[in-house]
Structure 1
Amino acid sequence: MARNKCFNREDALQKAMTAFWSQGYEATSIQDLVDCMGINRGSLYDTFGDKHSLFLAALDQYTETSVTRSSALQRDGNAKQILTEFLQAFMLRNIEDKDRRGCFITNTAIERSSHDEDCATRIRNYFSSVEKDLEQLIARGQAAGEIKTSRDSATLAAFFIGVMQGIRVVAKVNPTEEYLRPLVDVALASIDG
């Protein structure tokens, strides 16, 4: 007779994501996962497969939440103001990260992407999704005369992805507004001319 699972899959996945996010893939052992998730090894393997499959599920869960956050780029209004507010809020979230965990996606890109194609594909897809939202917002702002047209929207969108990733990495070692604000200001100056 099959046993019923005595845990909530989404809750366990959230706990695993937190462990991977805090420690990284390599430093997180199966025992760490069993302990933090509050389940036994058999349940972990039966529900999520191996460690790598669990990691990918955690990464998928994180990217879904992050893509939802980037949907703020799709709202109506002045495109330049929306981009400004988005980038400033992004900077502040990184400053307020007292544990300096950074971004799970960025951390994974650094740790895993060069040798884990499953991770690299997911991260490329995530960046592409956010970049598309940025490109559409910038193009809309250019058409309305709110954003200067000296650079095309695709180039500017790719540039902002790079700026955001830079902010995430730099904020892990220097999470102060005094240090990060100039990065935001210079990036925003790129849409003025």
Structure 2
Amino acid sequence: MGRNREFDVDQVLDAAVCVFWRKGYEGTSYTDLTQATGVERPALYSAFGNKEKLFRQALAHYYEHYLDYFPAALELPTSREVAAHLLFRSAELHTRYPDRKGCLYVHGALAGSDDAESIRCALINARTDGEASLRDRFERAKQEGDLPVTTNCASLAAFVMAVLHGMAVQAKAGFSRDMLEAVAEQALSTWPTGNSTLSR
């Protein structure tokens, strides 16, 4: 029988998220992780496996605790409200913490060695899944008359995701929340509207 864990898994994952968020996957060492979590390397190995497995669990934790506004946005009545919620909540999150600006999903593995290829692919797949969910929501909006029948929902979803990712990069470079919100307003200024009462 193994020894009982003497730490809170959620607290450790949150600490790991903060380090990965700040330094990226490859920029984070086990020393960084042990110092941030207060858990020695053997215990981290025992609880989470290797660094890659810990990162994947940290990503799930990040999505659940920091990106909960994404699934919530998809439930809003109109496509514009969906996009606005995503853009403005992202602007807030990207600038909330002075020591870790931007987005873990975007900055986690922007560039890396061949050893980190599986992580890069995991992040790309996660972003692709988010874009697919957004596209499906816009398809529903088109069927409801909230978007014009000529709307290319795949392109519209890709546009929103591109703005979100660009905002994350700009936040990392020092853009303020006010500036990111101005970018969001600009992105929404030409939002297509359909002929339903929802869109009006």
In the other structure, the counterpart of 1:135 is 135
Give me the whole-angstrom Cα distance separating, in 1, the residues matched to 2:157 and 2:179.
Answer: 23
Q: Is the 8 A contact 1:17 1:58 kept in 2?
A: yes
Q: CA deviation at 1:157?
A: 0.5
CA contact 1:113–1:119 (8 Å) conserved in 2 = no
**Which structure 1 segments of 5+ residues have no match?**
none
Deviation at 1:187, TM superposition (A): 2.4
**Distance of 2:114 and 2:180 partners within structure 1:** 27
Q: 5 Å matches for 1:24-173?
A: 24-65=24-65, 68-112=68-112, 116-173=116-173
Q: Percent identity?
A: 28
Look up the match of 2:17. Answer: 17
CA root-mean-square deviation: 2.7
Compared CA separation, residues 123 and 96, structure 1 to 2 (3 A): same
Query: Distance between the aligned counterparts of 1:173 and 1:122, measured in 2?
Result: 24
Give the superposition deviation at 1:54.
Answer: 1.9
Between stretches 78-87 and 165-174, larger displacement belongs to: 78-87
* Displacement of 1:190: 4.7
Whether the 8 Å CA contact 2:69–2:89 is kept in 1: the answer is: no
Q: 1:156 to 1:25 in 2, by over 3 A?
A: same
Higher helix share: 1
Paired with 2:132 and 2:91, the residues of 1 have a C-alpha distance of 20
Supply the distance in 1 between the matched residues of 2:127 and 2:113 (Cα, whole angstroms): 13
Q: In 2 relative to 1, CA 109–156 (structure 1 residues): closer, same or farther, beyond 3 Å?
A: farther
Q: Which ranges in structure 2 are unaligned for 5 or more consecutive residues?
A: 194-200
2:175 is paired with a residue whose SS is coil
Q: Partners in 1 of 2:93 and 2:105 — Cα distance?
A: 15
Q: Deviations over 1:111-134 (max 9, x none)?
A: 448763321332233212221232
8 Å CA contact 2:106–2:165 kept in 1: the answer is yes
Structure 1 CA distance for aligned equivalents of residues 175 and 4 of structure 2: 45
Q: CA deviation at 1:38?
A: 1.5
Bigger mean CA deviation after superposition, 169-178 or 108-117: 108-117
Task: Rate the CA distance shift 1:42–1:152 in 2: closer, same or farther, 3 A.
Answer: same
Give the CA deviation at 1:168.
0.6
Report the CA distance shift for 1:72/1:158 in structure 2 as closer, same or farther (over 3 A).
same
8 Å CA contact 1:109, 1:120 repeated in 2: yes
* Stretch of structure 1 that moved more, 142-151 or 99-108: 142-151
